[in-house]
Structure 1
Amino acid sequence: MSRLILFNKPFGVLSQFTDAGTAGSPRKTLSDFIDVPGVYAAGRLDRDSEGLLLLTDDGQLQNRISDPKHKLPKTYWAQVEGIPDDAAIQALRSGITLKDGKTAPAKADVIAEPEKLWPRDPPIRFRKSVPDSWISLTITEGRNRQVRRMTAAVGHPTLRLVRSRIGHWPLGGLAPGEWREV
């Protein structure tokens, strides 16, 4: 029987079990939180992003989750600089032209700050002269830093990025660093 683990990846943690990075300054990895043999991440989440990461011991399931050809929706909460207007949100919904081509249309909405959100450690840097707001963005692709590049392309750089759902698996009430098997 396949194992599937839902993990709330904290900010600053690599989406892998080992760190082949710079010597002398070890970075936190999945092995600092999860001691389950034989599982590996189904997809990635950047070191400076937080939220839901799925891990499995089933190669076929891993492929269905992570391969963009399966178009599994992934929902993110993005705290962005400024307050996006209707034109910015419509551009996200239509697809954004990036250096590596046009993105597929996304589901995008301005939202209130998510209620179940934990404080980030370290906190984002606030600027008194620039307001911030939250966007919910659901994409079916998985390009490198795609959400950050999309929000920047419409004039609202991402300050904080939290993945809240992959397919029908929600982050739920998991605190940063917590995991559960489903």
Structure 2
Amino acid sequence: MKTIAESRIILFHKPKGVVVSRRDELGRKTIYDLLPEWVLRDGWVAVGRLDRQTRGLLLLVKDGRLVERLTRPGGFTRTYEVWVRGQVTEKHLAAIREGVPSPVGILRCVEVKILGRVGPKTHLWLILDEGKNRHIRRLFGALRDERYGTALKVMDLKRLAFGPIQLDLPSGRWRFLSQYEQMMLSV
């Protein structure tokens, strides 16, 4: 089996509105429409997923076993920046760290911090150590704005980092990870 350092890894800045799929039955734009043709032809696959409305760092590899190694529970954290409609309070932050019940199980973040507020929106930074389907959107949707009683809603979500790998590209651009970056992902 190849080590991570022997495998090539692509870092892609996925734009909002693009589907992480080889093909979309509804005809929506996929990540493969924005990447060189050889990425699809040669069988590159995404490490995890970002929903259509989420933007940011996405890794792609050719080795399915490498995907498993990079996404296994207790492995690499993922760092996000999020804008939420509603006033997130210290009480909300405590619940987010402790865990919030949802239809897909308990959802939590290992770290969460308020970066600021603009009118009725809250700007946050958070870290996940696991990623369930629509984890962050479901987590905030399960919480209520204390003033209005409405569900908190994610308005903008961006993945900034996958473990030690930081997003450093404009939207829609890609590059190969350096040998050093790949060594940082060694498991």
Same fold flag (TM > 0.5): yes
- Equivalent residue of 2:17, what SS? coil
Q: Percent of pairs identical after alignment? A: 35
Question: 1:32 and 1:105, CA in 2 relative to 1: closer, same or farther beyond 3 A?
Answer: closer
Q: Distance in 2 between matches of 1:104 and 1:59?
A: 27
- Equivalent residue of 1:162, what SS? strand
- Shift, 1:96, TM fit: 1.2
Report Cα offsets for 1:126-161 as digits up to 9, x if no partner. xx9x61121112111111101011112222211111
- TM-score, normalised on structure 2? 0.79
Q: Distance in 2 between matches of 1:100 and 1:9?
A: 25
Q: Distance in 2 between matches of 1:105 and 1:47?
A: 21
Report Cα offsets for 1:10-32 as digits up to 9, x if no partner. 0111112222x13xxx2111221
The corresponding residue for 1:118 is: none
| 2:8 is aligned with 1:3 | yes
The corresponding residue for 1:158 is: 154
- Shift, 1:180, TM fit: 0.9
Question: 1:3 and 1:112, CA in 2 relative to 1: closer, same or farther beyond 3 A?
Answer: farther
Residues 9, 53 of structure 1: 8 Å contact kept: yes
The corresponding residue for 1:43 is: 48
The corresponding residue for 1:132 is: 121
User: Which amino acid is 2:19 matched to?
Assistant: L
- Equivalent residue of 2:113, what SS? strand
Q: Distance in 1 between matches of 2:32 and 2:133?
A: 23
| Gaps in structure 2 of 5+ consecutive residues | 1-5, 145-151, 178-187
The corresponding residue for 1:122 is: none
Residues 50, 162 of structure 1: 8 Å contact kept: yes
User: Which amino acid is 1:167 matched to?
Assistant: G
The corresponding residue for 1:96 is: 100
Residues 109, 127 of structure 2: 8 Å contact kept: no
- TM-score, normalised on structure 1? 0.81
Question: 1:104 and 1:82, CA in 2 relative to 1: closer, same or farther beyond 3 A?
Answer: closer
RMSD, aligned CA:
1.9
- Equivalent residue of 2:20, what SS? coil
Q: Distance in 1 between matches of 2:23 and 2:116?
A: 36
| 2:60 is aligned with 1:65 | no
Aligned positions of 1:12-91 closer than 5 A: 12-19=17-24, 21-22=25-26, 26-35=27-36, 36=39, 37-67=42-72, 69-91=73-95
- Equivalent residue of 2:66, what SS? helix
Q: Distance in 2 between matches of 1:111 and 1:93?
A: 16
Instruction: Name which one, 1 or 2, has greater alpha-carbon Rg.
Output: 2
- Shift, 1:112, TM fit: 4.1
Residues 11, 57 of structure 2: 8 Å contact kept: yes
Q: Distance in 1 between matches of 2:71 and 2:60?
A: 11
Residues 109, 126 of structure 2: 8 Å contact kept: no
Residues 151, 157 of structure 1: 8 Å contact kept: yes
